[in-house]
Amino acid sequence: MRFGVNAWVWVSPLTTEELKNLSPKVKAMGFDWFELPLEVIGDLDPVEGAAILRDHDLGVSVCAAMGPDRDLIHPDAAIRENGAAYIRQCIDVVQGLGGTNVVGPIYATVGRVWQQTPGERAKDVEMLVTQLSDLSAYAGDRGAVICVEPLNRFETSFLNLASQAIEIIDRVDHPSCKILLDTFHMNIEEKSLGKAIRDTGAHRLAHFHACENDRGAPGSGNVTWSEVSAALKDIGYDGPVVIESFTDKVKSIARAAAIWRAFEPSQDALAQNGVQFLKQLLG
């Protein structure tokens, strides 16, 4: 496994200069993977970014930020088209950085919730399968993989469970379309974290976010980590394990992720304590 951290722990948005400043810190803490959110395409130069990551021997993934104008199943065709164009840009960036995985809720705007009839849901599922099929072909041609992430019910009403993501991925049926599971969301939605991981299986699970129930340091809260560890080992998962959290110092991201207080004495402590715990648990 590779142990990583998302740059949102410290900054938003991420720029090339911030990547240059944070990469030596991330490496010194014991991480060997850095996840880079792409809120604004163009803030991060892929060529310079690739060199920075190589200099610090860090693997990389790209995290999609699905804002109000980025949505693959929105009723407005212009928003759907913009969402697909944005994901293609994320794929281009991860290719330029020398990475593979583009991860996140790659289906709808984070925070958009709506009630659906079974018929309406079936229509949206069909629309998403079509969109992801096209994007997976684009990703496959560039050696990239899209990793679709279920979120909790307060952030989306569309994909909340591993089983719902499995339905989508199996219908797309493309090697460049996989699943990301996140323990923060799973802790809210799943009856059993272990079963959700086992049902997803190593053939679908290409990325994993190891996050505490309050977004604090993994190991400091009530996520059933022994269950998570056993399930990941049972399926033979050997991909990236990434801590994703946020800072309340950046107001835009604090509003989006409902981060109203600090979870640890410092953001450095959150990352450092978290990676030590995860290495002991899974290493």
Kindly list the domain boundaries of the chain, sorted by start residue.
Answer: 2-282
Question: Is the CB of residue 187 less than 8 Å from the CB of residue 247?
Answer: no
Tokens 């690739």, located at residue: 50
Residue range 253-257: mean pLDDT, rounded: 74
Which residue in 190, 212, 244, 264 is the catalytic one? Answer: 244
For the chain, percent helix, then strand, then coil, each to nearest 5? 45, 15, 40
Known catalytic membership, residue 48: no
Least confident residue range of 86-95, 232-241, 258-267: 258-267
Q: Token pair for residue 133?
A: 């099929």
For residue 248, the model assigns a pLDDT of 78
Name the percent of the chain lying above pLDDT 90.
Answer: 93
**pTM, two decimal places:** 0.96
Query: How many contiguous H segments (helices) and E segments (strands) does the chain have?
Result: 10, 8
Looking at domain 2-282, its CATH superfamily turns out to be: Divalent-metal-dependent TIM barrel enzymes (3.20.20.150)
Question: Is the CB of residue 264 less than 8 Å from the CB of residue 273?
Answer: yes
For residue 250, the model assigns a pLDDT of 66
What Å distances lie between residue 118 and 108, 121, 125, 151, 189, CA to CA? 18, 5, 10, 20, 20
Q: Report the Cα 221 to chain-centroid distance in Å.
A: 20
Which residue in 35, 149, 190, 212 is the catalytic one? Answer: 149
Q: Token pair for residue 106?
A: 């790659």
Name the percent of the chain lying above pLDDT 70.
Answer: 99
pLDDT, tens digit (0-9, with 9 covering 90-100), for 26-85: 999 999 999 999 999 999 999 999 999 999 999 999 999 999 999 999 999 999 999 999
What Å distances lie between residue 212 and 45, 171, 186, 223, CA to CA? 31, 31, 10, 6
SS3 131: helix
Known catalytic membership, residue 149: yes
pLDDT, tens digit (0-9, with 9 covering 90-100), for 4-22: 999 999 999 999 999 999 9
Q: Token pair for residue 13?
A: 């948005």
pLDDT at position 259 over 90: no
